[in-house]
Structure 1
Amino acid sequence: MSLSVALLIALVAFGASAKTQEVGLAELFPDERQARTMVVINKVLERFHYRDFQLSDAFAADVIDNYFTDLDPGRLFFLERDVERFGRTAGRLDDDLAKGKIDTAFDIFRVYRMRVDSRIDYALGLLQQPFDFTRKESYLFKRDEAEWATSEAELNEIWRKRVKNDYLLLKLAEKTDDEIREQLRERYTGITRRIHQFTPDDVYQAFVNAYTRTLEPHTSYMSPSTSENFDISMRLSLEGIGAVLRADNEYTVIQRTIPGGPARQSGQVQTGDRIIGVGQGLDGEMVDVVGWRLQDVVDKIRGPKGSVVRLQTLPKSEASGGRMREVSLVRNEIKLEDQAAQYFVIDELGNAPSLRVGVIEVPAFYRDFRAESAGQRDFRSTTRDVRALIKDLKADGVNGLIIDLRGNGGGSLTEALELTGLFIEEGPVVQVKDSFGKVEVEVDPDPAIVYTGPLAVLVDRNSASASEIFAGAIQDYGRGIIIGEPTFGKGTVQTLIDLDRYVPGDDTQLGRLRLTMAEFYRISGGSTQLKGVEPDIRFELGLQGVDHGERSLDNALPWGQIRPARFEAKTVFDLDTLKQRSAQRIIKDDGFGMLFDQARILSEIEAQDEVSLSASERRAESDRRDQVLKEKKAGFLRARGIEPVDEDADEVDEEALEKQQEVIDRILTQEAARILADMIVLRGADERPRAAMRD
């Protein structure tokens, strides 16, 4: 995690305004308002946070460790003696924090700023020297678990390799020597410039978020200025490229793309891609954003509807230092209908040619609360849309139904309850346990069943929150089979608390706390937290040995279990036979073969923590991986009668690329349909194919 933990995750449509004025070192001291806020935060956490919390020496030591990590995730600035010196203050830090004393946080930041100045001066000096790219040496670019440097000489060597690596990356992008040196000068001086623009509120917010992250990863603090920007952004229409970003060391990374957004529709922006540069318009200067704060990158990317923004990215399929790609996107408002559920029918089932399976893609659990509160009876919602689509599919004579929740990050809890209700009689759907131990059972609000036929739910590692509630309930009732990857594991509930309410009669603004105050539990008793929903039939397509989702976060709440709710599970599936038949098909399927090759390459990249600083070795390694990925994809597409799109062309046919990606996305859907067809056949449903579709 990096310094921009303050907002954790930011939609590209949102962001704080970039600061332009330098803050003097003498200004970086805490004030009375911040001390008062610290006391209030302590009390709120102790009183209302879901996890039992009490300040202690051990907790304070972890806070300091996390603060150092947030400021310097790459171990590039601080020395071991800095960490040890401030680590010795942990014994009194818990007492200081209880009283609102936060001097240590500012002491550390002032040292950090001086260390940054020193390192950047050294890096700029290195740019005056030539580099030998024939020499065989490597650079450890994943430094989040590296030891802190013990001396200036050791830091100098780390920075020599770091600058050489930065230079090589741009050299492989075929930039000239002068262009490279100028771009790196701007990158390094930009680091200093942004650190010098940190206000006392910025320092305080960074420290408090290291503090809350030590407790639990979804609890965070927003200063009064950040809260104001958040309110402004929430009143604006959702205009941008439609992507969720996160900070990873010095890079801004695409965490996911939003259905209906320009990034998703372009087909050229993928989860895991790293943003290297941002340019305005068709020919505006490409500004290097490596090392920028997340908020400032967001601010650079967002803009008015209809305007063009260009992103320079390092694709996820490239290791640190591979080929860059430039993508032009037209900013647009992401409308509700663009994220609406839609359907298609699969009727080419080799294992059951007489059967037809309907697929309803649900990209989000949406509900137009504004229209609903205005009294509009025909407001849009996931459940209403899916209900209408099921009616159309019945008229189309399908024999089974798949609800596709891949990439669905959640949304309205009400919609998760109501959507579940389309497939079950009235009964419990999910349990919610609050910080006081009270458990509420949320139930299906409508006893009517819209669909009683064969059902499957397709999920992946990015299916989260409301998606996990729906999939878990369907699995617990035995109403359908869950197919895909283990889900994200986001089973906690957050609320936004205005801290001013805890100091009545005082006009001082303290900011807000995003607080974890409850947890979701399945009706069978286990939580969706951490473990997520384990599919009945699992597709092994993820990065091998790499944690994902909630499991990858430090201090995540553990999986838990409470008493099951009262419900009745009705259906038992012959899962062993379904798994066996699916495995036999997958071994021979060229689409899965391509996906397995992609996963192997991505796992190889993810496991890599060092890169060669030899230009020939780096180029050869990048070419090898690129060739494997392109050849496998091209072979699969041509077997489907599709000519692959040249994604490296100056002008990419985005419509053709989107259609190409749709074919790839449906590899898993096709197999899920075959699994469902097997289930129908095994249950004898093929002899009465229309009966299951009755109301």
Structure 2
Amino acid sequence: MYKRFFLLFFTVILLGCKVASSAALPVIDSGDVLPDAKQSVVLKSVAEMVSRYNYKKVELNDSISGVIYNRYLKSLDGNHNYFLASDIKSFEPYKTLLDDDIKAGNLEHVFLMFNVYKKRYKEHINYALAQLNKNFDFNENDIFVYDRDSLPFIASQAEMDNQWAQRVKYDLLNLKLASTDMAKNKATLKKRYENLLSQSAKLVSTDVMQVFMAALTNAIDPHTNYFNPASAAAFNIDMSRSLEGIGATLASENEYITIKALTAGGPAIKSQQVDIGDRIIAVAQGKTGEFQEIIGWRNDNAVTLIRGAKGTIVRLKLLPKGKNASDKSKIVELVRDKIILQDQSVKKEIRTYNQNGKTVKIGIINVPAFYLDFNAYKAGDPNYKSTTRDVKLILDTLKNDKVDGVVMDLRQNGGGSLVEAVSLTGLFIKTGPVVQVRDTRDKVQVDDDEDPSISWTGPMAVLVDRFSASASEIFSGAIQDYGRGLIIGTQTYGKGTVQQVYDLDQIINPAIKEMLTSLANKNGIKPVGNTSKFGQLNLTVAKFYRISGGSTQHKGVTPDIIFPAIIPLDKYGEDTEPSALPYDMIKPSTYTKIDDFSTVIPQLRKLHEARMVTNPSYQYLSADIADFKKREGEKSTTLNEDKLKQQRDADEAKLLERNNLRRVALGLPPLKKGETRAKNEDLDFLKLEAGQILTDYIGLNKAN
């Protein structure tokens, strides 16, 4: 209690602001997580910077307070599994108080909500542990509702207990489908639940602060972010593009550590056994180490376990994307490596096509990121690594190979260096503007390609998807505006904003740091002064615009020839973010179009669509997308063992059959159940079709 009083008193004295009033607050338990004075200073500082300097001007008022409240509540219990309706009712006043709290640097209500969540979490997991002493009948026709985000919060403790009893039954049934040893299954589940309690007990104030600050900054816009010291270190490792591990981006989703992205050239993607969406359920060190289950773990703890020194072995137990917990997992052995994104090279391949009896050679260049070794560049190293340099070298080899056209594959390229986006565009045009940037003062800067040399003058296309973002959109948008090449694929992400990194240690007044240290030492609290880190703020400071005047923000780039959306457009992308900056336009730059595809695009679409009608791979892809949408809408599952097993077996058989039909369509032999495909097999028919579309264009162009 003394620490709580000191923090409130300190906030009033140091910041000169009144603590927002509310109903009587509950007595703090010994296990509660409490904020420190440093976090109050950070909160107030970030609020001031976001309000004054962010590109999107947002006033902290009751309206935005409600948005922040809803985001924070969702981050704590988005699936409505922990809070009772009475808890939510007690939080209601905070909807219009959080803006005042933020301005004052007051975290009292934020931490109160979290501590209630932590209490409920502990209660429900302990209840689940107690259920393991009971026997379950798996012949009943019970239904477990696992997706509750659109349902009201549970009103009574009895109803909550029933929900958790069904969850335990569901977890046990999943294990039972893999093993009939119920004693072993209960022991496994007991260990899992105990791990959840253990991870919950390890939560500290910086964790709470990070979650709330994400709710605050993302209520302003999706790319303004605060990073606490640990998160800032992880972010900067990512930005420096150097770490030792497996080359995967992980996130915690529904208590599973889920693979969200794979690093080109990393051990995970090289294995061809790890896919985006796979869930890691256990980790083992070396060839013989014991597996440690990580279901329910914090993401940072899981990352620590998975990362390791170059050359060491880590084994992952994976639950593949789209599989249920009852499905069989697979074990993947990976040798950790040094992942240096700057050293990821673009890659090439040559595909041959038949055009009216003549062979057409298409060079396909995969560009994983817009990378640049800034240190080597600044040091004057003539061999510094960059996307543009690597592409230029490949274009030279493709010219020697006498290819007829080039496809630039930018799928899942989330961007990178703006300088590289401009210089890469310059390889395909003589000179001229590439992108416009408007800052908070409405000042527009035009970034030009000033190098008159052109590395490729022949036919070209750019292949994009929903995860092509930022620099990828600048490049593809410029190519489209100039009429330099065809854009093929799906609508891009729509990330058209510029962020600047601010080190809060450089922003927060040193005098405040000294005062924090003095007061903390005087009151026996851990020092938080000059040697501490306050984290960093990534602030949105500008917006990208195409040379034709339209922003890449929100809308992204719309292809000339559209492919089916493998990545759900209504789930991923800037236009799915409620706080995203809108699309708008400014005055176009002065530029000269190189070509005009308006007359040929309808013909190319017609040829493409005619092929797709009879293309088996296209039909299977369409069926996969339809199945995904159907399963995405499912919110419950049967708890009847026979029915669930039949459903799982049918799904596995259907998946194997469809994959084999796809393989046969591409000229590959079918696989038997349990057999894995060869690592060098290429099942990417959309890439092949992009090359075919460019081949069609070459044919039509010659005919004209």
TM-score normalised according to structure 2 size: 0.88
1:10 counterpart residue number: none
Task: Give the Cα–Cα distance (whole angstroms) in 2 for the partners of residues 628 and 27 of structure 1.
Answer: 49
Equivalent positions of 1:399-478 (< 5 A) are 399-478=404-483
Give 1:668 deviation, angstroms.
1.4
Task: Give the Cα–Cα distance (whole angstroms) in 2 for the partners of residues 537 and 141 of structure 1.
Answer: 39
The residue matched to 2:57 in structure 1 has which SS? coil
1:110 counterpart residue number: 115
Give 1:220 deviation, angstroms.
2.2
Asked if 1:659 is matched to 2:680, the reply is yes
Which segment drifts farther, 578-587 or 487-496? Answer: 487-496
Task: Give the Cα–Cα distance (whole angstroms) in 1 for the partners of residues 356 and 466 of structure 2.
Answer: 28
Task: Give the Cα–Cα distance (whole angstroms) in 2 for the partners of residues 325 and 187 of structure 1.
Answer: 19
Contact 1:217 1:555 in 2 (8 A): yes
1:390 counterpart residue number: 395
2:215 counterpart residue number: 210
Asked if 1:591 is matched to 2:624, the reply is no
Asked if 1:528 is matched to 2:552, the reply is yes
Give 1:257 deviation, angstroms.
0.9
Contact 2:346 2:367 in 1 (8 A): yes
Q: Which structure carries more relative contact order (alpha carbon 8 Å, separation 6+)?
A: 1
Give 1:521 deviation, angstroms.
1.5
2:588 counterpart residue number: 564
Query: Which of 617, 624, 638 in structure 1 is aligned with 2:643?
Result: 617
Asked if 1:494 is matched to 2:520, the reply is no
Task: Give the Cα–Cα distance (whole angstroms) in 1 for the partners of residues 227 and 559 of structure 2.
Answer: 37
Asked if 1:510 is matched to 2:534, the reply is yes
Contact 1:239 1:332 in 2 (8 A): yes
Instruction: Evaluate the alpha carbon distance shift between residue 230 and residue 473 of structure 1 in structure 2; reply closer, same or farther with a 3 A threshold.
Output: closer
Instruction: Count how many residue pairs are aligned between Structure 1 and Structure 2.
Output: 656
Task: Give the Cα–Cα distance (whole angstroms) in 1 for the partners of residues 199 and 167 of structure 2.
Answer: 20
Task: Give the Cα–Cα distance (whole angstroms) in 1 for the partners of residues 148 and 664 of structure 2.
Answer: 41
* AA of the residue aligned to 1:588: T
* AA of the residue aligned to 1:664: L
Contact 2:237 2:243 in 1 (8 A): no
Contact 1:241 1:263 in 2 (8 A): yes
1:602 counterpart residue number: 628
2:347 counterpart residue number: 342
Specify the structure having the higher radius of gyration (Cα): 2
The residue matched to 1:312 in structure 2 has which SS? strand
The residue matched to 1:349 in structure 2 has which SS? strand
Task: Give the Cα–Cα distance (whole angstroms) in 2 for the partners of residues 74 and 515 of structure 1.
Answer: 30
Identical pairs, percent: 40
Instruction: Evaluate the alpha carbon distance shift between residue 73 and residue 322 of structure 1 in structure 2; reply closer, same or farther with a 3 A threshold.
Output: farther
Contact 2:241 2:340 in 1 (8 A): no
Give 1:623 deviation, angstroms.
2.3
* AA of the residue aligned to 1:564: P
Contact 2:355 2:699 in 1 (8 A): no
The residue matched to 2:383 in structure 1 has which SS? coil
Instruction: Evaluate the alpha carbon distance shift between residue 336 and residue 114 of structure 1 in structure 2; reply closer, same or farther with a 3 A threshold.
Output: closer
Task: Give the Cα–Cα distance (whole angstroms) in 2 for the partners of residues 179 and 646 of structure 1.
Answer: 31
Give 1:225 deviation, angstroms.
4.6
Query: Which of 668, 679, 682 in structure 1 is aligned with 2:697?
Result: 679
Equivalent positions of 1:98-497 (< 5 A) are 98-174=103-179, 176-227=181-232, 237-319=242-324, 321-335=326-340, 339-349=344-354, 353-497=358-502
Give 1:175 deviation, angstroms.
6.4
The residue matched to 1:530 in structure 2 has which SS? coil
CA deviation profile, 1:469-522 (whole Å, cap 9, x unmatched): 111110111111101111122222222211233333334342211222222211
Instruction: Evaluate the alpha carbon distance shift between residue 484 and residue 299 of structure 1 in structure 2; reply closer, same or farther with a 3 A threshold.
Output: same
Query: Which of 563, 569, 583 in structure 2 is aligned with 1:539?
Result: 563
Give 1:376 deviation, angstroms.
1.0
Equivalent positions of 1:85-104 (< 5 A) are 85-104=90-109
* AA of the residue aligned to 1:372: Y
* AA of the residue aligned to 2:266: G
The residue matched to 1:557 in structure 2 has which SS? coil
Instruction: Evaluate the alpha carbon distance shift between residue 524 and residue 311 of structure 1 in structure 2; reply closer, same or farther with a 3 A threshold.
Output: same
1:668 counterpart residue number: 686
Contact 1:543 1:600 in 2 (8 A): no
* AA of the residue aligned to 1:602: F
* AA of the residue aligned to 2:655: L
Task: Give the Cα–Cα distance (whole angstroms) in 2 for the partners of residues 351 and 612 of structure 1.
Answer: 55
Instruction: Evaluate the alpha carbon distance shift between residue 645 and residue 367 of structure 1 in structure 2; reply closer, same or farther with a 3 A threshold.
Output: farther
The residue matched to 1:88 in structure 2 has which SS? helix
Instruction: Evaluate the alpha carbon distance shift between residue 153 and residue 377 of structure 1 in structure 2; reply closer, same or farther with a 3 A threshold.
Output: same
Contact 1:417 1:445 in 2 (8 A): no
- Root-mean-square deviation (CA), in Å? 2.4
* AA of the residue aligned to 2:365: I
CA deviation profile, 1:365-402 (whole Å, cap 9, x unmatched): 12222222232111121111111111111111111111
The residue matched to 1:172 in structure 2 has which SS? helix
* AA of the residue aligned to 2:595: T
Task: Give the Cα–Cα distance (whole angstroms) in 1 for the partners of residues 506 and 328 of structure 2.
Answer: 51
Instruction: Evaluate the alpha carbon distance shift between residue 287 and residue 351 of structure 1 in structure 2; reply closer, same or farther with a 3 A threshold.
Output: farther
Residue segments in structure 1 that go unaligned for 5+ positions in a row = 1-22, 687-695
Give 1:122 deviation, angstroms.
0.6
2:12 counterpart residue number: none
* AA of the residue aligned to 1:297: A
1:690 counterpart residue number: none
The residue matched to 1:572 in structure 2 has which SS? coil
Asked if 1:81 is matched to 2:86, the reply is yes
Contact 2:32 2:115 in 1 (8 A): no
Instruction: Evaluate the alpha carbon distance shift between residue 517 and residue 184 of structure 1 in structure 2; reply closer, same or farther with a 3 A threshold.
Output: farther
Residue segments in structure 2 that go unaligned for 5+ positions in a row = 1-27, 514-528
* AA of the residue aligned to 1:238: L
Asked if 1:548 is matched to 2:567, the reply is no
1:634 counterpart residue number: 660
